């Protein structure tokens, strides 16, 4: 089953699964931010560094399972597989969009 995602969210998951930190960062606006593992990463350089570090640590891939549109963007339920205890796990990806870019992403 194919899940329809907003274009920039699909681009994010494609870049993330390819372990392309530059591609992930490019999905965000200039002041975009990621909140993950109780840390906040704001701006392209910080997002790129976060993605490189998490990619090296977990080598994770994400399979989107469900997409719920919200007033500000969408919430994706995704199965995350990688090098961590309990893999795979299902996490929530709360995207706030601003035009064709991601303004914020919270992973929980």
Contacts of 15 (CB under 8 A, 6+ apart): 22, 23, 24, 26, 27
Residues 6+ apart with CB under 8 A from 19: 55, 59
Residue among 83, 2, 22 at smallest CA distance from 11 = 22
Q: Are 43 and 30 in contact (CB under 8 A)?
A: yes
Coil, strand, or helix at residue 26? helix
Whether 1 shows a pLDDT value over 80: the answer reads no
Question: What tens digit of pLDDT does each residue of 74-104 get?
Answer: 999 999 999 999 999 999 999 999 999 999 9
Between 48 and 1, residue with greater pLDDT: 48
Burial of 104 (0-12, 13-18, 19+ CB in 10 A): buried
pLDDT, tens only, 28-74: 999 999 999 999 999 999 999 999 999 999 999 999 999 999 999 99
């Amino acid at each position: 089953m194919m899940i329809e995602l907003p274009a920039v969210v699909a681009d994010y998951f494609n870049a993330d699964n390819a372990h392309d930190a530059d591609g992930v960062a490019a999905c965000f606006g200039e002041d975009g931010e990621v909140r993950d593992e109780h840390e906040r990463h704001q701006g392209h350089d910080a997002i790129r560094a976060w993605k490189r570090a998490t990619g090296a640590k977990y080598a994770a891939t994400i399979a989107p399972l469900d997409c719920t549109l919200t007033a500000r963007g969408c919430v994706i339920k995704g199965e995350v597989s990688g090098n961590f205890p309990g893999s795979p796990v299902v996490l929530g990806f709360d995207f706030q969009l601003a035009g064709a870019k991601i303004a914020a992403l919270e992973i929980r």
